[in-house]
Structure 1
């Protein structure tokens, strides 16, 4: 299974190599050599605002099951989780944040619930905003990126997925055959405890309406900085399509980053940008230059900071997991 995921994630690398073989590399390097440092710094600062908002959102969620969890701890976990998510398909490494919450007062199940809740909020908002962006593209450029039926199926799949996850008895029935077949007898009691603990954390958060609505509100607000950030990155290499263009582009790029066929969106993002920027008569070389800046500033730079944070605050394996 792991080998299959690794092979699948190489699709993006292959796409990227093919793209590089078909564009003017000299023109690409020329564009990057004239990148405006001032706009890059401004973009980085805007991205920092997004990081603060995302850390605050998760802190609010965690506080429903662990009131002592601080904003500083949330920031540390965010950077470490982001660092690991950068090198894993579909950002699965983000779940390492669980280990920064779990202790004798907050079990693994409740800790996992906070990360799942955080991801669910992000995914629902991402798909909602991305679908709006895709519909807007269809209206403005008369290009059907996704058909109406496909979008309806995606929304239905999200709704069904949420219903299953939030319905404890139903999920338990669906998982029971796999639980009985694949889980060794000596682990059954512990996993059952984690399962029940997970739903305890989930329902505590859901019934705390103040934190429920606060975290969702911050999640919505946290989408504003990425639009400005993308626009500033584009300006750094002389691309000025207007801010509204990036209100449409960024959600689509974020959606592609979730695909398990790429790590950090390498390859898939480049293909999408060549197509989307082409609608504004922007050359493939400029599109790839933007994609490389986006990769470095949005992923590698933050991941590098996260690696440093991890070395300073290494994860501790809770006794219940050892």
Structure 2
């Protein structure tokens, strides 16, 4: 019991502590500038940001539909988008990104998709996301290093580390084609590798998955840029691009539920290094993540209604029970 409670409480405390510390840093400035901030707000840009954010989710659904189809299961774009919405909503409350496994249970329950295949679909999606983020980050660095070259060192190393890890992973993936194993666990890993190659086996598949991933993340960046415009803050687009990239690379490490706290801190640090006032950087980071999380929650609630009562029960049980136990029960369906 204590382990389950601490697994939720500790990450939540970390998230609250990070947000609290960030707020205390800018509290006086925020109070002094609140009136001018409210006067300069342009709500139209907020509506545009929400619209772009929603479109981005459906593009994710389109990409995931393609991945699942390559693995032998046909699903519609509404179904695939709803799967992603539910799993990401779960990630906002379930620690260590365990919400991703919800997608596997949904695909098994609704489409009979084997767990190995659905697990591979998650890996494919995550790998393309991280690698495209790193490539976009690498492209943005030359523009930003010229601004404050001495402060961008750790960004460079973070992006290079991700790219190197990606290259090593691709090499292992290719070499695994000729590997064989009698051990059951290693056999499953090799099966996942084979399915990954199956999804990305053609130039058209590589192009579609890479291209949609680029557009997805650019829409994420545009959402944040529109938040800046809503606050009437003039920030270079490339600075927003780098902030979103660093924020999401850090968010990929499951320290807090949904990356709350760590994402905002990463964005605020990048903006401040780029010359943005501390209180403005804090506001942009918090509002950006709040908008994206609220869109996720609303989409998640609608998706739970779309799948039916059993999906709500699944979320409750995933939060309370061991995923292995639920998986064994689902295998009996």
TM-score under structure 1 length normalisation? 0.79
The correspondence for 1:249, drawn from 230, 235, 243, is: 243
1:320 matched to 2:320: no
Per-residue Cα deviation, 1:57-76 (whole angstroms, up to 9, x for no partner): 11111111235211121111
Which residues in structure 2 correspond to 1:41-80 (within 5 Å)?
41-80=47-86
1:14 has 2:20 as partner: no
Q: 1:235 to 1:113 in 2, by over 3 A?
A: same
Which one has more relative contact order, counting CA pairs under 8 Å at least 6 apart? 1
1:155 aligned onto 2:149: no
Change (3 A) 1:242 1:195: closer
CA distance in 2, matches of 1:224, 1:150: 20
Decide whether aligned partners of structure 1 residues 224 and 18 sit closer, same or farther in structure 2, where only a CA change above 3 A counts. closer
- Report if aligned partners of 2:147, 2:274 keep a CA contact under 8 Å in 1: no
- Residues 140, 238 of structure 2: 8 Å contact kept: no
Q: Indicate yes or no: 2:129 matched with 1:122.
A: yes
| Structure 2 gap ranges (5+) | 315-326
Q: Which residue of 1 aligns with 2:116?
A: 109
Q: Distance in 2 between matches of 1:151 and 1:305?
A: 31
Deviation at 1:40? Answer: 0.7
CA distance in 1, matches of 2:8, 2:141: 28
Distance (whole Å) between structure 1 residues aligned to residue 107 and residue 252 of structure 2: 25
Q: What is the CA-CA distance between 1:39 and the residue it aligns to? A: 1.1
> Residue 253 of structure 1: CA displacement?
1.9
**RMSD of aligned alpha carbons:** 3.4
What corresponds to 2:323 in structure 1? Answer: none
What do the CA deviations read for 1:21-75 (whole angstroms, capped 9, x no partner)?
Answer: 2322534754674543211101111112211221111111111123521112111
The alignment of Structure 1 onto Structure 2 pairs a total of residues equal to: 308
Contact kept? 2:251, 2:258, Cα under 8 Å: yes
Structure 2 Cα separation of the partners of residues 87 and 146 of structure 1:
33
Q: Residue in 2 aligned with 1:182?
A: none
